[in-house]
Amino acid sequence: MPETLKPIQAEKSEDARQIRGERTRQALLEAAFDEIHQHGYRSASLNDILKAAGCTKGSLYHHFPDKHALGLAAIVDNVDRFMSTTWLTPLTETNDPVSTLLDILQRHVDGEIFTDVRLGCPLQNLSQEMSGLDEDFRTYLNGIHEQWRSAIADALRKGQDTGQVRKDISAEAAATMIIATHQGTVGLIKTAQSTDIGASSFEAFYQYLNSLRTTGNCTPGPKEGLTS
């Protein structure tokens, strides 16, 4: 074999190993997140995670030293992507924050965001389960809530600057209440195992959000379906 081919083949082999390794890592993250979402972090089974991921314990410990590291990485990977796609990016890009918030609520009502009422919101579930038990989890979860609150408040302030949102309201206070109302409603839906109570709550939520608009700017939002 020519000497010049050996480095090329070695490089290709290393690239293939890296690709396989990343696929294995991602499979572990997805399986761990699903297991934690269904059973909670403390009841999550490593054996069930490995089975779902199609991985060995050797593969697991090659990427993560223990269950704690795997669980936290799985939460960060999935929750970061979910929050960015569902909340942070739309709020950052919008020029009409109230309509954007109403659109997100409509997606909840339509079952596009949480498709299984039995399991509830992963962020809420973990905040309740882990915040008092593990500082690493608490720090991450609190940080996500702060990003969420800041994104809503910044969008509302932008709306105030452009005349879309009333200037007599506190954007920070409104953002805090929006998150609290959203999370409370999601918790009620999970407890009732029914979206009916969510529809009732979101109807009042819709009215509150629309009240943030400036006078003469109360255009119809995505109300259909909220009381169905």
Residue 44 pLDDT > 80: yes
pTM: 0.85
- Domain boundary assignment for the chain: 1-64, 72-228
> What percent of the chain shows pLDDT beyond 90?
71
Tokens 């009620």 belong to which residue?
A: 188
- Structure-model confidence comparison of residues 64 and 19, the more confident one: 64
* Neighbouring C-beta atoms of residue 112, cutoff 10 Å: 11
Q: What is the CATH number of domain 72-228?
A: 1.10.357.10
1-64 folds as: Arc Repressor Mutant, subunit A (1.10.10)
Q: What is the mean pLDDT of residues 78-88?
A: 97
Q: What is the pLDDT of residue 221?
A: 45
Q: What is the pLDDT of residue 16?
A: 66
Q: What is the pLDDT of residue 6?
A: 57
Q: What is the mean pLDDT of residues 140-167?
A: 97
